[in-house]
Structure 1
Amino acid sequence: MYQTIQFIHSYWAYLVVIMLTIASISAIIGWVSGKEYSAGNFRISLFTLIVSHIQLLIGIVLYFVAPYFKMWGEVGMGGVMSDDTLRLYNLEHPLMMIIAIALITIGYSKHKKKLTSTPKFKTLAIFYTIALVVLLSRIPWNAWL
């Protein structure tokens, strides 16, 4: 079960990174160029929100079935915090991904309340780009690629 969920989580992550990158670039271009906010822009931002939330749900399941989770009980907080790998998988990666998805959710919610195109693009550009940076900062690159 663990390998299957890890496989799904790893490959769904490619979709999340691609969609978040596209949404960020699209929002930045729309903001800078003064384009009109279109249904296509809305779909990109919504699809990014959806795939990131699906990834969060897969990640939560993976967190509790992963062998790393058992280490909290075996070596305790001090043991997990002193081991770089355990700290990454048990604390840093989950926490930063939750923060990134919260930023995506907040940005999406705030942009819907804006009435004109420039503030919509600006809100999406800021929140989605920060979320992308946060997300990329804590991906376990050595295990992922």
Structure 2
Amino acid sequence: MYETVLDLHSYWAFGVLGLLLIAALNSFAGLATKRPFTAQDKRIAMLALIFSHVQLVIGVILLFVNPKLELAKVAGMGGVMKDSYLRLIFVEHPLVNIIAIALITIGWSKHKKADDATAKFKKIGYMYAIALVLLLSRIPWGQWFS
């Protein structure tokens, strides 16, 4: 089961990263051209939001079916923090990704309260872009491409 969930989490990540990039670039393009915020812009941002939340759920499931979880339990928090791999998998990756998804959610919520297109594009563009950078910073690249 672990391998299946890990594969799903890894492949879904490509979709999340791609959609976040598209949503951020779309927002910055809308901001630069001063065009109105359309239903298509909203759909792009919403799709990125949905994909990122599904990725979070898959990631939480993965965390609990990870065979290294027993090793982390035995090592304790001090042992996990001393081991860079375990720290990445059980602390840094989940924490930073939860923060990134919170920023995506905040950007989505703030855009709904904004009145003009410029404010909507700014809220989505900046929050999604920051979230994208955070997600990229904590991907376990060695595990992802092995």
How would you bin the TM-score normalised by the shorter chain? over 0.9
Equivalence for 1:71: 71
Name the residue aligned to 1:104. 104
Decide whether the 8 Å contact of 1:68 with 1:89 is kept in 2.
Answer: no
Name the CA distance, whole Å, in 1 between partners of 2:33 and 2:142: 37
Separation (CA, whole Å) in 2 of partners of 1:68 and 1:120: 42
Q: Which amino acid aligns with 2:56?
A: L
Q: Which residue in the other structure is 2:38 paired with? A: 38
Number of the residue aligned with 1:91: 91
The runs of at least 4 aligned residues of structure 1 exceeding 4 Å deviation read none
2:117 — aligned with what?
117
Counterpart residue number, 2:135: 135
Q: CA deviation at 1:70?
A: 1.8
Instruction: Please tell me the residue identity of whatever aligns with 1:122.
Output: K
Per the TM alignment, residue 113 of structure 1 is displaced from its structure 2 partner at its CA by 0.9
Structure 1 stretches lacking a partner, 5+ long: none
How far apart are 1:97 and its partner, in Å? Answer: 0.7
Q: Does residue 1:29 correspond to 2:18, yes or no?
A: no
How much has 1:79 moved relative to structure 2?
1.1
* Percent identity between the two aligned chains: 51
Q: Which residue of 1 aligns with 2:55?
A: 55
CA deviation string 1:36-64 (max 9, x = no partner): 11111000000000000000000000001
CA RMSD in angstroms, aligned pairs only: 0.8
Q: Please, which runs of 5 or more residues in structure 2 have no aligned partner?
A: none
Question: SS of 2:115's equivalent?
Answer: coil
TM-score, structure 1 as length reference = 0.97
Instruction: Provide the C-alpha distance between the structure 2 equivalents of 1:38 and 1:69, rounded to a whole number of angstroms.
Output: 45
Indicate if the aligned counterparts of 2:72 and 2:86 stay in contact, CA closer than 8 A: no
Equivalent position amino acid for 2:120 in 1: K
Q: 1 CA distance for matches of 2:93 and 2:48?
A: 19
The question of whether the paired residues in 2 share the 8 Å contact of 1:97 and 1:134 is answered with: yes
Equivalent residue number for residue 5 of structure 1: 5
Q: With structure 2 as the length reference, what TM-score do the two structures score?
A: 0.96
How much has 1:68 moved relative to structure 2?
2.5
Question: Is the 2:100–2:135 Cα contact (8 Å) retained in structure 1?
Answer: yes
